[in-house]
Chains A and B, each alone.
Chain A
Amino acid sequence: MHEMSMMAYLLETVEETARAMGASRVTAINLVVGARTGAIDDSLLFYFDMMTPDTVAAGAKLNIRRTYMTFHCEGCDEEYTPEVGGFDCPRCGKVGRLTYDASELQLESIEIEE
Chain B
Amino acid sequence: MSIQIIQVTQNLLANNDEVARLNRLQFLDACVLAVNLMASPGAGKTSLIIKTMEAVRGRAAIGVIEGDIAGSIDTEKVLAAGALGAVQINTGGSCHLEAHMIRQALDKLDLKRTDIVFIENVGNLVCPTHWALGEGIKLTLLSAAEGHDKAIKYPQIFIAADVIVLNKIDLIELVDFDRAYFYESVRAINPHAPIFEVSCRTGVGLDEWADWLLGQTRDDRRQSTYDSSQAHRRMVN
Q: A residues touching B (Cβ–Cβ < 8 Å)? A: 1-2, 5-6, 9-10, 12-13, 17, 21, 23, 27, 31, 36-38, 69, 71, 85-87, 95-101, 103-114
Among B11, B14, B127, B234, contact of A2 (Cβ-Cβ < 8 Å)? B127
Evaluate contact between A106 and B152: CB separation under 8 angstroms. Answer: no
Residues of B in contact (CB 8 Å), total 43
Give the distance in Å from the alpha carbon of A61 to the alpha carbon of B130 in the complex. Answer: 25
Evaluate contact between B2 and A17: CB separation under 8 angstroms. Answer: no
**Contacts known (A1-B126, A10-B12, A85-B152); A97 close to B7, Cβ less than 8 A:** no
Residues of A within 8 Å of B228, CB to CB, are 105
Residues of B within 8 Å of A12, CB to CB, are 15
Evaluate contact between A106 and B10: CB separation under 8 angstroms. Answer: yes
Evaluate contact between B156 and A101: CB separation under 8 angstroms. Answer: yes
Evaluate contact between A114 and B2: CB separation under 8 angstroms. Answer: yes
Give the distance in Å from the alpha carbon of A37 to the alpha carbon of B156 in the complex. Answer: 7
Among B6, B98, B159, contact of A109 (Cβ-Cβ < 8 Å)? B6
Evaluate contact between A107 and B12: CB separation under 8 angstroms. Answer: yes
Evaluate contact between A103 and B233: CB separation under 8 angstroms. Answer: yes
Nearest B residue to A69, CB-CB: B155
Evaluate contact between B8 and A1: CB separation under 8 angstroms. Answer: no
Evaluate contact between B159 and A2: CB separation under 8 angstroms. Answer: no
Among A1, A106, A108, contact of B95 (Cβ-Cβ < 8 Å)? A1
Contact of B191 with A by CB under 8 A? yes
Among A69, A71, A100, A111, contact of B5 (Cβ-Cβ < 8 Å)? A111
Evaluate contact between A98 and B185: CB separation under 8 angstroms. Answer: no
The 4 A-B pairs at the shortest CB distance, nearest first, are namely: A2-B127, A38-B126, A105-B12, A1-B95
**B177-220 with Cβ < 8 A to chain A:** 184-185, 188-191
Evaluate contact between B188 and A17: CB separation under 8 angstroms. Answer: no
**B157-185 with Cβ < 8 A to chain A:** 159, 184-185
Contact of B223 with A by CB under 8 A? no
Q: Other than the known A5-B98, A106-B229, A111-B4, what 19 A-B pairs have Cβ atoms closer than 8 Å? A: A2-B126, A5-B94, A6-B13, A13-B12, A17-B8, A37-B156, A38-B126, A38-B129, A85-B152, A87-B155, A95-B185, A101-B155, A106-B9, A106-B11, A109-B5, A110-B5, A112-B3, A112-B4, A114-B1
Q: List 29 A-B contacts (CB under 8 A).
A: A1-B124, A2-B94, A2-B130, A21-B6, A38-B126, A38-B129, A71-B188, A85-B152, A95-B185, A97-B188, A103-B159, A104-B229, A105-B13, A105-B130, A105-B229, A106-B9, A106-B10, A106-B12, A106-B229, A107-B10, A107-B12, A108-B7, A109-B5, A111-B4, A111-B5, A112-B3, A112-B6, A113-B2, A113-B4
Residues of A within 8 Å of B16, CB to CB, are 9
